[in-house]
Structure 1
Amino acid sequence: MTALRIGNASGFYGDRFDAMREMLTGGELDVLTGDYLAELTMLILGRDRLKDPSAGYARTFLRQLEESLGLAHDRRVRIVTNAGGLNPAGLADAVRQLAQRLGIPVRVAHVEGDDLGPRCPDSLTAHAYLGGFGIAACLREGADVVVTGRVTDAALVTGPAAAHFGWGPTEYDRLAGAVVAGHVLECGTQATGGNYAFFRDGSGDVRRPGFPLAELHADGTSVITKHPGTGGFVDVGTVTAQLLYETDGARYAGPDVTARLDTVRLTQDGPDRVRVEGVRGEAPPPTLKVGCSRLGGFRNEVVFVLTGLDIEAKAALVRQQMEPALAEVADIRWELARTDRADADTEETASALLRLVVRDPAQEAVGRALSGAAVELALASYPGFHVVAPPEKGSPYGVFEAAHVPQGEVEQVAVLPDGRRVAVPPAADTLVLDDVPEPLLPEPLAPGATRHAPLGLVAGARSGDKGGNANVGVWVRTDEAWRWLVHALTVERFRELIPESRELPVTRHVLPHLRALNFVVEGILGAGVASRHRFDPQAKALGEWLRSRHLDIPEVLL
């Protein structure tokens, strides 16, 4: 059976608008996917639905489809997307109306059953992460466009693969291979040189990376590539980086299968082609993850600019002056960023930033604390007083929480193009997840001369968020560097380099085939991205901070 070519045209709600057309016109495809959902997106869509019950889906998808549905139909490319968000039936109806208006005969289906809102009355949104077999059921019945709500990102690939190759629910190795391919594709251009640690070393122009595609085979192996002539590049490093993104340990669990990331083997298969093989799969866990979003209260902030001399004393003065106004606020955070330089030749580089963030259940409390007190200090505080922007009345913030429910309690339904509703059974076999024992480590490098230098001279990193936790994947490109990294970058050394993690649980996972370590830092993001707990609320740059830290590196690696 020929390979199934699956491309991706969206990594998040707000990604490149022209990507759908670019992917449909750039080369051969069988299926085009679009990932629009993230933890924060669900909260945004939930607030949209509060204002308009017919809302709750990614409207950008409809606008993209208006100019691309004819192309997809002419090229016989099926489209699979989770843009349905909180309202997949509503988006499916909107797609039918669009197709009718354009005069294009399109069969539309959708998947539902993920919405667990009635069980979680205190949540704005509560959705189970479904797998790919609902999508597969729709495609097997001839759907041209399949719309889902909350499915795992990889399900957008496992569903089409299962339908095309006829995989059953217990063909775990094949399904795991598709999960790995789906995880590489899900964030779009992050697989083709976007957000890549070694972007200066790549073979392609990363100013406008092309979107990725996977050539999937019946045995679950795949080749990650991109359309000819598009920007960016695909190599073992870009694929490794994306494999480490927002994962935990060796077991990558999903509703259909648990993929063993410690079995993945990557090889360069030509220019802009990386072969993915060796992936082993296990039965999925007995529960499904449920993402719950709720409003946590109100948030406000002000950033004071401190210029020139006496930065610490200026910061201390304004903090003392603000204390009376903050006495009754529930949560207060001060952060001083020493962006100033001595004898600076511009005012901006002579300035530091003092950031005050307040949170409280009452909007009036955060508005009064900053809008009044901070502004009143304009002529009565440190010399050179000014702020980046005047504080406002405060805005609501969200809280993300993860829960789990037994697979059998979620009723997944495929709503076919002819309107028939087909129940999609839960996984027949399940396996409770256990930690994978740390593998045998290679012999360390022989002792030799070292240089105190940034970790990033030899190691790449990519980091991201999962609720309140962050993960930092670190990898190297040679066996010699791996022999050093796996012994040098312990949990203790990680905590030394990232002081924020010193009082938090940190777990290290070893992935020798990828020459990679994955660190999970629990609680560093507070209640998740929507709570905006820290300066970098999604930990996107945590890995780059780690790469900038200095440690003793063997000269032979430099």
Structure 2
Amino acid sequence: MAGPIRIAGFSGYLGDRRSALDEAMAGEPVDVLIGDYLAEFTLAMLAARHRSDPSRGYVEYFLEQLGPHLSAIAERGTRVVVNAGGFNPSGLAEATRRLIAEAGVGLRVAHVEGDNVLGRLDELQAGGHELASMDTGEPLANWGVRPVAANAYLGGWGIAAALGAGADVVVCGRVTDASLTTGPAAWWHDWERTDFDRLAAAVVAGHVIECGPHATGGNFSGFASIPGAAAPGFPIAEISADGTTTITKHSTDGGAVTVDTVTAQLVYEIQGPRYLNPDVTAHLDTVRLRQVGPDRVELSGTTGSPPPPTTKVALFAPIGHQIVTTLYATGLDIDDKVALVREQAASLLAGADAELDVCALGTAADDPQRQWDATVQVRIMATAAEREPLQRLVSGIGELYLSSIPGFFTDTAARQAATPSTRVDYWPALVDVDVVEHVVVLDDGTRLPVAPPPRTEHVVQPGHPEPDELEPARTRRVPLGRLAHARAGDKGGNSNVGLWVTDPAAWPWLRSALSAEELRRLMPEAKGLDIVRHEFPNLRAVHFVLRGLLGTGGSSNLRVDPIGKAVGEFLRARHVDVPVELL
């Protein structure tokens, strides 16, 4: 088709702004609307719904979003591509067809399946596929628990095939987040499967817009400069036939699209300069950004290479129970007060096979002017194989009002957890991509198999040596965030964080200052971890992977920030020595 394809996002996760599709339909016309609803933990939650009721397991409120706009979508010829199918894409596809029939419009629905390999785990292991953990190398057979969800990450060629067959709405399960963009782009421009540079450019575009307002100022460390930050809009990717992309947004929406807001998403939840997808490996260190107009950032120069011979499989299993409760400590001797609460909580779990974490959130001010300036929250979290010890703990905490720290109180207006919830563990694995049964199912029942990639290559992340020290200069000790932006995220049990500077003059200082050892100094919690460091000169960014910071994953660790979203903002608050001329 002629001209660039305009792809607009309207969801970045399960629970995102439900009005986003209304906002997208009210804005400038686009060719494809994409909705990303799935995260690593989301499938486990949807799997539980599917087990209790086989007719469920998909994102039901997608139908509420779509319904009011069916006539306009049909009139405009807009396509809709979503991964809201979750554990039951065929069920959501059928529900969407019923909705369309009730509206009396002529839209066709297809779905993509094959990602759900839960029922094939025994077959795969018997065939020599160990499904070894990407973090530990242990085979799945050693996990010792029974998975309730196992989903392989699919590429975008099934989406392209569905659109090519005339589908107006394409419902997917666990395709990669970027596949929601690469599929439509490949269909629109009639790319070949070996057009690796173009596919890589689409993967990068998809990565930028997959998290919605992340690219328009949401969760941005420079949020104070973003207009309309209370409701930043959803991004649009305009992808040309050669892969050159412009990121923009609807003109009536809040937020902003700048080189920095796009950089923030580029360094989010990556494992290094090589961004692996089932269709292509994108080389993020080749991407160049340029502000080409108000709320318009051009991405160019992206190169790609053949995809890896494997694709990721996300497995989840229940491993027991967990509970969290909170109370407050005020005034002097906070550390001693927390220590006493910890001792009392531990005694309530005596004899149980349980894990306990008690920590204070915040610091009491010196000479406080208000009671709340002198108050910190004390968070108590515990996990156990059985529910009974946890119920004993929360009941016992409620009996400490007269026998614990001075000033003991809880927020009685906030509902405290009364019963434990299920604790779910995560197992990231790899499987050969050619054993995954990637299939498109059209509205007439026709099944279109999607072949594995014609070429693959094993991928190794490039290494970057520790930086050389700069020449001595007169410095001042200031928060790192005075000069650097940051964005952090999670990849299973690993946290990633990218830090970058807007001013080119500050780049030599940033890359020299931010060594792996300096990161360990800035973040003592990571001192004993394996830290992988990368540089992105085109983005003026240093990127770190903190292996194991999040335990085995966000669904099972005991951290207050379980998926590492605030790691970057913590680092920006740390003080470093900065050359005076950069200030």
Tell me which interval the TM-score lies in, with the shorter structure as reference length. over 0.9
> Hey, what does 1:171 align to over in structure 2?
195
> Hey, what does 1:44 align to over in structure 2?
45
User: What do residues 87-114 of structure 1 show as CA deviations (whole Å, max 9, x unaligned)?
Assistant: 0000000000000011111110010000
> Hey, what does 1:74 align to over in structure 2?
75
User: What do residues 403-424 of structure 1 show as CA deviations (whole Å, max 9, x unaligned)?
Assistant: 1100111010011233210110
Equivalent residue for 1:419, pick from 445, 451, 460: 445
Q: Structure 1 pair 496/64, CA: closer, same or farther in 2 (3 Å)?
A: same
> Hey, what does 2:575 align to over in structure 1?
550
> Hey, what does 2:562 align to over in structure 1?
537
Q: Determine if the alignment matches structure 1 residue 15 to structure 2 residue 39.
A: no
Q: Contact between 1:472 and 1:542, CA under 8 Å: does it hold in 2? A: yes
> Hey, what does 1:115 align to over in structure 2?
116
Which residue identity is paired with 2:194?
T
Structure 1 segments unaligned to the other structure (5+ residues) = none
Q: Determine if the alignment matches structure 1 residue 100 to structure 2 residue 101.
A: yes
User: What do residues 168-193 of structure 1 show as CA deviations (whole Å, max 9, x unaligned)?
Assistant: 11110000000000000100011011
Matched pairs, number: 555
Q: Contact between 2:464 and 2:533, CA under 8 Å: does it hold in 1? A: no
C-alpha separation between the residues in 1 aligned to 2:30 and 2:331?
Answer: 58
Equivalent residue for 2:331, pick from 308, 331, 337: 308
> Hey, what does 2:3 align to over in structure 1?
2
Which 10-residue stretch deviates more, 117-126 or 192-201?
117-126
> Hey, what does 1:127 align to over in structure 2?
151
Q: How far did 1:446 drift?
A: 4.9
Q: Determine if the alignment matches structure 1 residue 200 to structure 2 residue 224.
A: yes
User: What do residues 361-413 of structure 1 show as CA deviations (whole Å, max 9, x unaligned)?
Assistant: 10112111231x21222212222222346552211121121011001110100
Which 10-residue stretch deviates more, 417-426 or 523-532?
523-532
Q: Determine if the alignment matches structure 1 residue 472 to structure 2 residue 497.
A: yes
Which residue identity is paired with 2:479?
P
- Indicate the RMSD between aligned Cα atoms, in angstroms: 1.6
* Secondary structure at the counterpart of residue 555 of structure 2: helix
Q: Contact between 1:213 and 1:225, CA under 8 Å: does it hold in 2? A: yes
C-alpha separation between the residues in 2 aligned to 1:485 and 1:143?
Answer: 48
> Hey, what does 2:91 align to over in structure 1?
90
Which 10-residue stretch deviates more, 215-224 or 333-342?
333-342
Which residue identity is paired with 1:192?
T
C-alpha separation between the residues in 2 aligned to 1:526 and 1:2?
Answer: 46
- Aligned ranges 1:356-395 → 2 under 5 Å: 356-371=380-395, 373-388=396-411, 390-395=416-421
Structure 2 segments unaligned to the other structure (5+ residues) = 123-145
Which residue identity is paired with 2:554?
V
C-alpha separation between the residues in 2 aligned to 1:323 and 1:332?
Answer: 7
C-alpha separation between the residues in 2 aligned to 1:307 and 1:296?
Answer: 36
Which residue identity is paired with 1:324?
S
Q: Structure 1 pair 5/440, CA: closer, same or farther in 2 (3 Å)?
A: farther
Identity level (%): 48
C-alpha separation between the residues in 2 aligned to 1:219 and 1:390?
Answer: 55
Q: Structure 1 pair 504/420, CA: closer, same or farther in 2 (3 Å)?
A: same
Q: Contact between 1:375 and 1:390, CA under 8 Å: does it hold in 2? A: no
Q: How far did 1:440 drift?
A: 11
Which 10-residue stretch deviates more, 321-330 or 179-188?
321-330
Q: Contact between 2:338 and 2:359, CA under 8 Å: does it hold in 1? A: no
Equivalent residue for 2:543, pick from 501, 511, 518: 518
Q: Contact between 1:364 and 1:393, CA under 8 Å: does it hold in 2? A: no
Which residue identity is paired with 2:387?
Q
Q: Contact between 1:339 and 1:353, CA under 8 Å: does it hold in 2? A: no
Q: Determine if the alignment matches structure 1 residue 527 to structure 2 residue 548.
A: no
> Hey, what does 2:485 align to over in structure 1?
460
* Secondary structure at the counterpart of residue 9 of structure 1: strand
- Aligned ranges 1:263-412 → 2 under 5 Å: 263-327=286-350, 328-371=352-395, 373-388=396-411, 390-412=416-438
Equivalent residue for 1:222, pick from 224, 245, 249: 245
* Secondary structure at the counterpart of residue 39 of structure 1: coil
* Secondary structure at the counterpart of residue 269 of structure 1: strand
* Secondary structure at the counterpart of residue 398 of structure 2: helix
> Hey, what does 2:515 align to over in structure 1?
490
Which residue identity is paired with 2:403?
A
Q: How far did 1:537 drift?
A: 1.0
* Secondary structure at the counterpart of residue 194 of structure 2: coil
TM-score by length of 2: 0.92
Q: How far did 1:532 drift?
A: 4.7
* Secondary structure at the counterpart of residue 41 of structure 2: helix
Q: Determine if the alignment matches structure 1 residue 501 to structure 2 residue 502.
A: no
Which 10-residue stretch deviates more, 500-509 or 338-347?
338-347
> Hey, what does 2:128 align to over in structure 1?
none
> Hey, what does 2:26 align to over in structure 1?
25
User: What do residues 251-309 of structure 1 show as CA deviations (whole Å, max 9, x unaligned)?
Assistant: 00000000000100111111111111100001000101001111121111222311222
Which residue identity is paired with 1:410?
V
